[in-house]
Chain A
């Protein structure tokens, strides 16, 4: 039995380190193993260095570093399984949450929004990224890896776009547009280019490409074309202009029939009427850039659209003040047992767009006028 000196042990350890074994655990294991072999197999007065050189070659095919590579590979493999499991669990959870949330939504029961938001968030921020990491590990070619990243990016922006849309959060349209543009003009061309070149992926690429295109096409079918939007805006504006003219006519008639031509019988009614007119003017200005629009709106290119005005109202101090004052006045007004009470649904709406705002304010004014007429 050979007796190893401390010097020889240090020599072996240095040699193992020099040859690409960096994990300390592995260094110590290999050191002990080689020492055991030498002690068992080398004669007492044998040639240490020669025997060591010969022995170490048994450990590998090309180089010693292979052992560390293999160890790292197996360790990653373990993470691979854990990730796969997490991905599956998060996928099932998010789909269940979303489905259950939808059921609650249609049954009009509480908890629907929370479940839906959590489900979509889990899907976008855990399931999809994990799927991407796992797919990236499977793919070896750089172009394939890039495709996976592009696809997952599209999917995340698209799901988030829909989530933002249903939650009325800002940026929803931007997210959806980015998702669609990326899918149609970056991912798809690249996907086709990459897949159609190889005979083995040709058919699959063509089929999935068609499915993706049809999917995007169906989404776009649901959207309104710019031409229709313009036509609708013209109709809405026409309605608004006419409503405004009718209102003015009613106002004139009442004032003429009244002996005290200028003053309102109920001062609060006058205040409400004036506040509505001010806010309407602000909204019209916000949308068109002018204070009022008439019959020639189309020629001048001034139409009212679907801008959300509640944010603007809330953020402009004097308008916000008017908006609040109007609510208080209406509440007090309705309490006074008037014959036509004012409906104020625009104050309760989650989002107010130009059309609804103008329409709602005119309705308030007409209710006030109707009451004046009855006095």
Chain B
């Protein structure tokens, strides 16, 4: 099952921030590949959603960037800023809380014994 883009949209920022928190600096393509790998292909970030979000996070001061030349093209690496690190933890807590609420709201029986 591949999740719908509506579901992913609300959590995209959290996903990006968590990945950068764990891996240090990453570039766009790397992020999509890592997510695909970690979720066994269930979550596939679209370019149309990923890059606008990266730009917005950079403008908000959550991400800092550095560029590197790869031959004729330029690669932009993203890193969490100090402010972004605090925000990342906050976002994850918020989402965990949201998960619990949803579980209760939708009456989902967890399969963990």
Contacts and interface: CB of A to CB of B under 8 A. Distances in A.
20 contacts: A10-B72, A23-B55, A26-B55, A30-B51, A31-B74, A32-B70, A32-B73, A32-B76, A33-B28, A37-B29, A59-B47, A59-B48, A60-B48, A67-B51, A67-B52, A70-B52, A71-B52, A74-B55, A74-B56, A78-B60
B55 A25 contact: yes
Contact of B72 (A9, A25, A30, A36): A9
Interface in A36-93: 36-37, 58-61, 66-67, 70-71, 73-75, 77-78
A59 B49 CA distance: 9
B59 interface: yes
Nearest to A73: B52
B60 A6 contact: no
Contacts of B54: 29
A308 B87 CA distance: 62
Query: Which of B32, B53, B56, B60 counts the most A-chain CB atoms under 10 A from its CB?
Result: B56
A78 B81 CA distance: 17
A192 to B, nearest CB: 40
A28 interface: yes
A51 to B, nearest CB: 16
B contact residues, range: 20 to 34
Interface string A162-173: 000000000000
Given A6-B71, A29-B28, A29-B54, A78 B76 contact: no
Interface of B: 27-29, 32, 46-49, 51-56, 59-60, 67, 70-76
A71 B75 contact: no
A58 B29 contact: no
Contacts of B59: 75, 78
A70 B72 CA distance: 27
Given A32-B70, A71-B55, 4 more contacts: A29-B54, A59-B46, A67-B47, A70-B52
Interface in A2-33: 6, 9-10, 13, 23, 25-26, 28-33
A36 B52 contact: no
A74 B54 CA distance: 10
Nearest to A75: B59
Given A32-B27, A58-B46, A75-B56, A26 B72 contact: no
Contacts of B60: 78
Contact of A77 (B28, B29, B56, B71): B56
A366 B28 CA distance: 93
Contacts of A66: 48
A131 interface: no
A118 interface: no
Given A77-B56, A78-B59, A31 B73 contact: yes
B55 A6 contact: no
B76 A29 contact: yes
Interface string A254-275: 0000000000000000000000
A82 to B, nearest CB: 10
Given A33-B29, A61-B48, A75 B73 contact: no
B102 to A, nearest CB: 24
Given A58-B46, A59-B48, A75 B29 contact: no
A337 B54 CA distance: 86
Contacts of A71: 51-52, 55-56
B6 to A, nearest CB: 14
List the 10 closest pairs (A to B, CB-CB), nearest first.
A74-B56, A36-B29, A71-B52, A70-B52, A59-B47, A71-B55, A28-B74, A33-B29, A9-B72, A6-B72
Nearest to A71: B52
A330 B67 CA distance: 83
B47 A74 contact: no
A63 B29 CA distance: 20
A99 B71 CA distance: 65
B73 A28 contact: yes
A28 B48 contact: no
A35 interface: yes
